[in-house]
Amino acid sequence: MDLLPVFRATIEEWRMLFPGDKVVVGVSGGPDSVALLDLLYRLREDKELSLYVAHLHHGLRAEADEEAAMVSELARRYGLPFFLDRVDVKKHAQQNKLSIETAARELRYRFLLEVAGEVGANRIALGHQADDQAETVLLHLLRGTGLSGLRGIPPVRGPFIRPLLRVRRAEIEAYCQWRGLSPCLDLSNWSLEYTRNRIRHQLLPLLAREFNPSIVEVLCRLAEIAREEDEFLEKEAGKAYRELRREAEEGLGLALEPLKTLPLALARRVVRLAYRELVGEELPFEHVEAVRQWLYRPTGKELSLPKNVKVVREYDSLVFLPPQAKPSSVPFYAYPLRVPGITYLPEVGLLLEARLITPQELGDPRKLPSTEALLDWEVLVPPLRVRRRLPGDRFHPFGYPVPVKLKSFLINQKIPRYRRDRLPLVEDAEGIVWVGGVRISARVAVRPETRVGLHLRLYPFSVQENSTGGR
């Protein structure tokens, strides 16, 4: 059976690919990723795509050498560039106190991002399909989750795309046979040692046999509904958060009485947004509930949250206090800016995508969200890099007549101390050109005569948020 029509329709619906895109294809050697590569190869001329095959040797199984050789040969047959890296997953897991599964996933995503940076790719294609989606939703449900967990695997998150999410595993296997493809079979996918495999081979078949033969389709539909409704609630919570947020001397506050009157669904999300702004991570549900109960405690009492965050009531505000850490708690980093391409900033949990465009493609740069910027490419002086701030940094903000100290500018913009080291700075040979999420430099602002623009976009990135099964 030919999967190309549904594959193409999914790409069009989610606007996953555009003419001229450079795409890194993660290929493990299993049926899903082999079919993904074949389908993208069939689309490459129509979409004017540049494809790059990437395979990570995890060193965990005896068949790993055979799989790497098979993917290498597949890339050779297609005439595509091939990238291979070998990692020690067990060592990484021990050093970072991670499970083998989490360590492998973390190394895999880092590898794909490195390849994307090296070749200047702006998309990374992964082979997750509908059965993976159903398994993920069930797994989250069994562990306990809200709407965000019921969303399952995102079709698009930053540079990552998953065009097979509406295709069943059996359909992919039939497609491989129809196309004469010979993928590898990972025997570990049959081991009942892993929870996901027990869901795949025991729970889902039981549900299909005893309750609903269309259980996979039902769970995938649930994921789509949850995603749409969760996105709506996140937007509403963002509006409420901006209205309730107050600057505090050492942290950030939320207006107490308005917070109490919010619908419960929004109040929980507003609390999570405050915590996320402080430490860049999600606050578990039980701690969200503890904060809500704290709304009614006497002034001056203190509540401890993960990552050494404290919550106190101060008169008419609920105040979140950041960890008492030195400004250098975010280690110094500096990376070459990939243009075009993706630069991974693990120190602050962000991806920075850069691409060249005509300014007309984006319209008025003043209407861009704070996570995006448009610079005049022809004014920039290479090399470009992205880094953490340093003492003595100076910056000429757009709208200012002269350069100022970066620290003074951030204070003037009411950027709290705990956020300042988390702001990525993009600079060229002559100085800072964008304080990520805040302001561009006057020197590089686009003008009516600008012919080529550099479009920058920041994405939050978490290995956990991208966690899935897949083969």
> In Å, how far are 55, 85, 153, 224 from 227, measured between CA atoms?
30, 34, 10, 5
Specify the residue for token string 């206090």. 321
Is 33 annotated as ligand-binding? Answer: yes
Cis peptide leading into residue 383 (ω within 30°) = yes
Is 28 annotated as ligand-binding? Answer: yes
> In Å, how far are 70, 175, 237, 240, 289 from 263, measured between CA atoms?
55, 48, 10, 11, 14
Is 31 annotated as ligand-binding? Answer: yes
Torsion of CA 403, 406, 410, 416, to 10 degrees: 180
Structural contact between residues 51 and 41, judged by C-beta atoms closer than 8 angstroms: yes
Cis peptide leading into residue 340 (ω within 30°) = yes
Specify the residue for token string 């002034």. 299
Is 32 annotated as ligand-binding? Answer: yes
Is 462 annotated as ligand-binding? Answer: no
303 phi and psi, to 5 degrees? Answer: -120, 135
CB contact burial 120-156 (16+ within 10 A = b; e otherwise): bbbbbbbbbbbbbbbbbbbbbeeeebbbbbbbbbbbe
Is 370 annotated as ligand-binding? Answer: no
Three-state SS at 453 = strand
Direct distance between the N- and C-terminal alpha carbons of the chain, in angstroms, rounded to an integer: 20
Mode of pairing for the β-strands spanning 394-395 and 404-405: antiparallel
How crowded is the C-beta side of 241, counted as CA atoms within 13 Å? 19
Per the annotation, binding residues for ATP are 28-33
Per the annotation, binding residues are 28-33
